[in-house]
Every structure is written in C-alpha cells, then in structure tokens.
Structure 1
Amino acid sequence: MISLDRLGAVTHWNEAAERTYGIPAAEAVGRRFTDLVETVYQEGDAALARRQVHVQGRWHGRVRQISRSGAVVEISSTVAALYDQAGGSRGLVAVNRVVEPSSGDTDLTHRATHDSLTGLPNRTVLMEGLDSALHRLRPGSTTKLAVLFCDLDGFKDINDGLGHAVGDQVLVTVAQRLRRRCRSADVVARFGGDEFVVVLAVDEVGDAVAMATRVIEVLDTPIVIGDAEVSPGVSVGITVVDAVPDTDDPVAAVLRDADTAMYHAKGRGRGRYELFDAGLRDDEEERLELATAMRRAVGDGELELVYQSRRTCGDRRVTGVEALLRWRHPELGVLAPDVFLPIAERTGRIVELGDWVLRQALADLADLPDERLTLAVNISARQLVSGRLTRTVTRALSESGVDPARLVLEVTETAFSDDPATAHRVLDELKAVGVVIALDDFGTGWSSLQYVRGLPVDVLKVDRTFVADLPGELTASAVVASVLGLGHGMGLTVVAEGVEDEPTLGLLREMGCDEYQGFIDGEPGSLPDVLN
C-alpha cells in the first residue's frame, strides 16, 4: 500500500511495499515514486505501470500512470467518485477517462482490506469503520457504541508447542467462531497477531458485557486440529461510548481504552472481561508516569535492597538471604515491588532493574565474613529470555568474587509460559556456570508437574498462599505434603515461604520441611539486621 501526494512524492509506504520493492519505508517516504521504481515507458507505448493510491486515508482501486512526470491518465470509477466527494480531482494532473473496476480490481481491493489468513477485515478497515461509527453517534440517542478488544491467552504456547501451522489454523477457527457468534451488523476484525476487535451498537452497557461473555465462552471451547486439542482462551477489554471522544484522535482513544481494560482483565487471571472506566484511565496515566520516572531511578540512586533471611526449620539457623527490591521515590516515598515491577515488566525495563539487583546484591554478599551464606535473587521472565542473562550473571560473579554455588536464582513457573524452550536452555547454561536454581511460588502454576521433572532446579519454594492456611486448612496441608514428597523424591531442597507464626513453623517441622522464610523472623531489612 503506497500513498503519493499531488507531486508524486511518497507519503506512505507500508510493509507490503517494503517486501515488494525491497526498499525500506524510511528511504521511500518523501521521494518521488518514479525515482524509486523504474517504469516501463516509451512515448506512445501502451505499456502501463499500475500503482495503488489513498484517497482521504482509504485504498480505492488503481491508478494507471504513463508519464514519467507522474501525470495520471486513467483512474477507476471508485477513485473518481471519492475525488468528487472530496471536492474535485485535486492531485490529479490529468484524467483522460474513467474505467469500471474489473474482477481483478475487486480481488485486489479485497486483499488490501482483509486479513489474508482469517479473511476478516484488517486493521485499516477496522479503524475507518470505527471512525465512521463514532461520527454517526447522536446526542440524546439511546444507541451507544461498544468496542471489545480480544487477546488470546494461550496462543504463544500453542504456536511454540505445536508449530505455526497449527497456530494459523487456530486463528482461522477463532475468526470463524467470532464471526458466527456476532450479529451480521457487528464489525469483527483482526487487529494483528492474536488480537481481534469487535465493534457493535448497543442500547446499554449490559449488552456489551453479554457479548464479551459469549466471546469468552465460545473461545474457551476446545479446538481440535488433527491430533491436537487446544483451548486458546481469551481476555476481553470493553469500552462503551455514546459520543465522539474529545481528543485529536478519537479512534485511537477508544481502542486504547479497550486495550487498557483488556490488560486489566489479563492481570486479574485471564479468561475474563474488564469494563473500562475513568479509574482505569487514571491508573494507566499513573503507570505511565511511574514508567517515565523509572528511567532515572537507577542513575539517581533511588533503588535500594532489603533482605529476608532463609532458615532451617529445625534449629532456625540462617542459611542464606533473599534480596528484595525497593524504590525510594522522591515524591511517593518507598514503593513496594508489586507497585512498580509489573510496569517494569510491561515496558521491558525489568531487565535493567534485574541487572542492577544482581550486581548490587552480590557486592553486598561479598562483604560478609561468613562464606557459607547463600544469596537468592529473583529472575523475571523477560530476563530469562533476554539473551543476556548468562553473560550478566557470569560477569557479576567475576566482579564480586563470590563463589557461584552461593548464588541462588529464583524463577517462577510463569517464566516458562512465553518461551519454554529458551527458558529451559538458559537454565541449563546457568547450571553450567555453577549457580543454584530455585523454582519459586511452586504449586500455583498450571504446569507444575509437567515441567518440574525436566527442569534443572535444585530448590522448590512452596507458595505462601498454601503456607498461610496452615495448620487449619486440610487442603493446604495436603498440597504442602505433596510438594514435600515430590521435592524430596527428586532430591531437592524444599523451602516454605510466608511463615508468620510458631504453629505454622511447628507443623512444617513435623512434616519434614527443610527450610523456611517469613515475617516470623521480622520485617526485611539490611543485611546486618537480618543476620543478627
């Protein structure tokens, strides 16, 4: 898709144009099309060079060019009609005749406006349709416009585990189910990747919620492809408007609100919907402000580490410490990691923060006289697949002089959900370096038993949600006992997280748990404080 101004200079050059002509958009925009592409031309020759055009942001058939000066001599009837609507043939140097679209033009139009895989309208058509629908809203009318932003929950696992061919078939099936579930007047479009958008007219918010519920239900039903049966699942963000948003780009604003709601739905457990409101927008603005402030936090010395001790369940002897990050914000005070780490994950800054924690914690550990103590550092999913973790760990160990066997890297099961093959490979590399690997929050992930047998781990940490219900909750006791049996059967050390009182510690001791950590020994603090 290529757009030219009235002088023949390129104003838009999309990815398909880059692939077709082998010219990057950065080089094409601003230059004359005839300077970029050699046109077959001889005076009086009937050879014509075809090109695609935009009129008021829309693709509309073909323009034929015979002159190197860029003079247009033939246009399709669709283009002519749109130029008439725009107030005349502006930008056309000359028009000799108007032609009716051929079947080839119709096919070309469909390919330019629809997703090639699913057959759904593409992002361009979606945004144009949404713009038109927004401007049809009338004050006082009972009709509202709902936008549902749908993002598949488990698509990457399907793609990585079963291959892209199966993934493509899943997307086609998802598109078909969405189209059948929605009304004929509703717009169902593929936004990109595994994201789909539904636009529909509703009388009340409840209608949009009902549609989101139906979408979640239909995409939770297993899809059978060959011998594989998968359930992609979906998270849906909903926004409902009764007037055009008062912004420079109302279409982008509406889609952004629906997208924000979708991310909240994913954050609350996936397979659910979230309705956008002003509070979510305020939250999003606060997150953006924190993300901006996070850029200076490392350089300005606003980050600090506190530590929590890890002890044996028997004699409560300290065996090591876990480094915990805090952000001393100049205006908001001390921020806990659950406030800013999700933002760091989403923006990618978590890798930089993780590198800083690793270097600083190892430097602190190197100053301790007791060389038997271990140091645990949490590793995020992004760090694990960043391609630099092994080099970073090796360099930090070398700079600090700490024995690799004293470093415990803690990863959660969710760190394997996005790219399990890469995550597994990196853990093998780290084990070769000599560090200890701990599987954190064990028992909460869907893949616990599936992955733990093949992972190069040394330690299992029982999630605090189970430990907190000890000793009164029988189900929690059963889970902890099962983890202890599994871990010890594999020769692993089992650590209980979140121990806060003597009865809980006593039961863990009776059950044969190796170590624990928690507030029973006080709040996290400086190394000297937690080791005394």
Structure 2
Amino acid sequence: ALYRSKNGGRSTYTWYESSMDEELERRRELETEMIRALKLDGFSVVYQAQVGLADNKLKAFEALLRWVHPEKGRISPEVFIPIAEDTGLIEALGEYVLKKACTDAASWADTSLKVAVNFSPAQFKTGLIEQKISEALEESGLAPERLEIEITESLLIADTTSVVKSLKKIGNMGVSIAMDDFGTGYSSLSYLSRFPFNKIKIDRSFIMNIGKDAHTDAIVAAIIGLGRSLDVLITAEGVEEEMQAQILRAGGCDIVQGYYFGKPSNVDPANPHANVRCTLGTQEAKQIEAAYVG
C-alpha cells in the first residue's frame, strides 16, 4: 500500500488489499522472466516507418521493443517497461535496443535512412549514456548522422542542467535528438529554449482528433508553426487515416508515422522500403488541403 501511494504522487493514501500481494507476485514473476529473456535473446526489435510528406519518401524507422513470451504470448511494453524502470532492468533493455537498432540500420541497403531509438529517463545516466551511444555506433559501424534518440520532457524535469549537458555532447557526435510526446507536459516550450532539438514529435493524442476538433487543429498548427520558426523538423505520430495525413501535409508537417504508412515490423536489409506506403491517395486530396488551408 505504501508503494502504491508513492507511485500515485503526493498527498494521497492507499488502503491495503490482499490483491496487492497478487499484483506484486505477478510483477516479481515478470521481472524474473525478463532477466531470463535477456539472457536467452527472448526480446526483439521491430521498426515503424517515418515518411516525409513533402516528397513522399521514406526517411527513417523508429525502433520498438517487443516481447513474445513462450507461454504468456505477447506482453505489451506498457506492462513490462514500467517494471523494467522500477527494477533497473531498463538499462540492459535500453542498451539491447540501441545496439540492435544500430546494427540493423548499418545493414540496410539505403544508407540515407535514419533509425530512431527511445530513451527512458531511468536509463539516462549522465556520463554513461554518451559512452553507450558511442560504443553502439563504433561496434555497428553506423554513421552518427543516421542515429536519432528520442526523449520526453520528463527526462529534463529530473535534472535539467546535467541532462542538457549530456544532450549537447551527444549532439556534438552528430546524433540527432528529438523531443517525443510534445504538448503532453507542462514545460515543453521552456526546454526548447534551453536545448536546440532537431525534431519535435506531436503526440498521437492530438492526431487522433485532427480534422474533428477545431481546438486540436489550432494546437497542431501552432506546433508546426513553432517548428518552422525554430527550424526544427516536425513529426506527427499515430497517423492512421489518409485524411489525417492530408491535413498534416496541408499544414506543413514534415514527417508522419503510423499504421496508415506501415505497422511496426522487421526490415528487409536488401529492400528496407518494402511494405511501406509512401504515397497518399489523390481522391479529394486537393479539396481537403484547400479546405484546411482556407
């Protein structure tokens, strides 16, 4: 009950229930099985395409961690990632994803494609993270310009000064840095003034309502305008419909990713463009764009 209250934030309390013991036991079981999966290569990395709207070309892939348990089946990252963060296993998982993504990207026939890797605040240790990235690049032979790391503002909240210092060192390597889930926190704008991000990613919670809600449209348009002013690329996540993509293109968004362009999957090194939709349908496209711009 104490730990449940701590996770819930300040000024709260929790009554103990017997079900908490069962939940704790499940968490401990998953923790043990995660350790086993790391040793036996039970995790995998899949990739979701990021497509440029201006030229309809594949620009990059985002690396996503997956776990298919031999008995329990597919376990959602929303279940095992928090446990990994709480227990410290996130460092080993994060290093696995980083090295696998760099190695895979280095094997792709199209050397213009970048690979994006998410970093959790729990694995971002000043001084060590730069070393991990440098080692992954050196071991894989991947050019630093082809790697992009994604962080959320929660990372900056913890220790802004030291984190910004580390980010600058990583940027000096030639690695791109993106702020993920932009607009969902409280201090996103202030952090943009403290560190020159290369990319801003609009959270999927905004994209799902684009074209349906005037307030959402205004927020997305403002973020895109901000990106233009700062000369920062804008990526929209969670694009699942053609109309969403058309509205984003009309608004000047640079890059999109989501099920409309391709589900997370393995990448064929010889043909990384396979199974990626890079063109939008033409039916009513001009009317959609004209209506949005107007």
TM-score by length of 2: 0.88
Q: 1:300 to 1:337 in 2, by over 3 A?
A: same
Correspondence 1:304-383 to 2 at 5 A = 304-383=44-123
Partner Cα separation in structure 2 for residue 273 and residue 499 of structure 1: 39
What are the ranges of 5 or more consecutive residues in structure 1 without an aligned counterpart?
Answer: 1-257
Matches of residues 39-438 of structure 1 in structure 2 within 5 Å?
258-266=1-9, 274-385=14-125, 387-438=127-178
Supply the distance in 1 between the matched residues of 2:20 and 2:263 (Cα, whole angstroms). Answer: 32
- Per the TM alignment, residue 284 of structure 1 is displaced from its structure 2 partner at its CA by 2.2
CA contact (8 A) 1:308 1:530 kept: no
Query: Deviation digits for residues 18-65 of structure 1, max 9, x if unmatched?
Result: xxxxxxxxxxxxxxxxxxxxxxxxxxxxxxxxxxxxxxxxxxxxxxxx
Distance 1:509 1:276, change over 3 A: farther
Q: Which amino acid aligns with 2:273?
A: L
Alignment correspondent of 1:479 = 219
Aligned partners of 1:427 and 1:365: how far apart in 2? 22
Matches of 2:184 and 2:115, distance apart in 1: 24
DSSP 3-state at the match of 1:318: strand
Cα distance, 1:328 vs. partner?
2.1
> Alpha carbon RMSD of aligned pairs, Å?
1.7
C-alpha contact (below 8 Å) 1:260/1:284 kept by paired residues? no
Q: Return the index of the structure with the highest Cα Rg.
A: 1
Is contact 1:442–1:463 with CA below 8 Å preserved after alignment?
yes
Q: In proportion to residue count, which structure has more strand?
A: 1
Deviations 1:340-398 (A, max 9, x none): 01111111111111111111111111111111000000011122225311011111101
**Equivalents in 2 of 1:376, 1:273: separation in Å?**
39
What amino acid sits opposite 1:415 in the alignment? Answer: L
Does the aligned pair in 1 maintain the 2:211–2:244 contact within 8 Å?
Answer: yes
Given that 2:46 and 2:265 are in contact with CA atoms closer than 8 Å, whether structure 1 keeps it comes out as yes
> Is the 2:236–2:253 contact (alpha carbons within 8 Å) kept by the matching residues of 1?
yes
Alignment partners' CA distance in 1, 2:11 and 2:256:
34
Contact 1:261–1:276 under 8 Å retained in 2: no
Give the superposition deviation at 1:264.
4.7
From 179, 183, 191, the equivalent of 1:439 is: 179
Matched residue of 2:217: which SS?
helix
- CA distance in 2 between counterparts of 1:280 and 1:352 reads 27
Question: 1:312 and 1:296, CA in 2 relative to 1: closer, same or farther beyond 3 A?
Answer: same
Q: Contact between 1:438 and 1:461, CA under 8 Å: does it hold in 2?
A: yes
SS of structure 2 residue aligned to 1:346: helix
Pair 1:273–1:508, CA change in 2 (3 A): farther
How far, CA to CA, are the matches of 1:339 and 1:327 in structure 2? 10
Counterpart CA distance in 2 for 1:276 and 1:507 is 49
2:233 to 466, 489, 493: 493
Deviation of 1:274 (Å): 4.8
CA shift in 2, pair 1:431/1:489, >3 Å: same
Q: CA deviation at 1:410?
A: 0.4
Counterpart CA distance in 2 for 1:530 and 1:468 is 27
Letter in 1 for 2:8: A
The amino acid that maps onto 1:469 is N
**Letter matched to residue 531 of structure 1:** H
Aligned amino acid, residue 403 of structure 1: A
8 Å Cα contact 2:51/2:261 also seen in 1: no
- 1:260–1:276 contact (8 Å) kept in structure 2: no
Checking the alignment, whether the CA contact within 8 Å between 2:116 and 2:148 is kept in structure 1 is yes
Asked if the contact 2:126/2:163 (under 8 Å) is kept, the reply is no
What are the superposed Cα offsets for residues 471-510 of structure 1, whole Å, 9 maximum, x if unpaired? 1011211111111111111110000000000111111011
Aligned-partner SS, 2:236: strand
Q: Following the alignment from structure 2 to structure 1, what is the Cα–Cα distance between the partners of residues 273 and 158?
A: 37
Contact 1:405 1:436 in 2 (8 A): yes
Q: Identical aligned pairs, as a percentage?
A: 38
**Any gaps of 5 or more consecutive residues in structure 2?**
275-294
CA distance 1:491–1:343, change in 2 (3 Å): same
Deviation at 1:436, TM superposition (A): 0.3
Q: Deviations over 1:274-330 (max 9, x none)?
A: 554333332222112111222222110101011100001234311010000011222
SS in 2 for 1:521: coil
SS at match of 1:306: strand
Q: 1:521 to 1:464 in 2, by over 3 A?
A: same
Q: Is this contact kept in 1: 2:126–2:162, CA < 8 A?
A: no
Measured against aligned partners, the alpha-carbon deviations of 1:408-457 in whole angstroms (never above 9, x if no partner) come to 00001111121212211110110111100000000011111111111131
Q: Number of residues paired by the alignment?
A: 272
Question: What is the rounded CA distance, in whole Å, between the counterparts of 1:530 and 1:443 in structure 2?
Answer: 31
The question of whether the paired residues in 2 share the 8 Å contact of 1:291 and 1:344 is answered with yes
Distance 1:438 1:283 in 2: 35
Q: 2:126·2:166 contact (CA, 8 Å) conserved in 1?
A: no
The Cα of 1:531 is off from its aligned counterpart by: 2.6
Q: Distance in 1 between matches of 2:166 and 2:52?
A: 29
Q: Which residue of 2 aligns with 1:175?
A: none
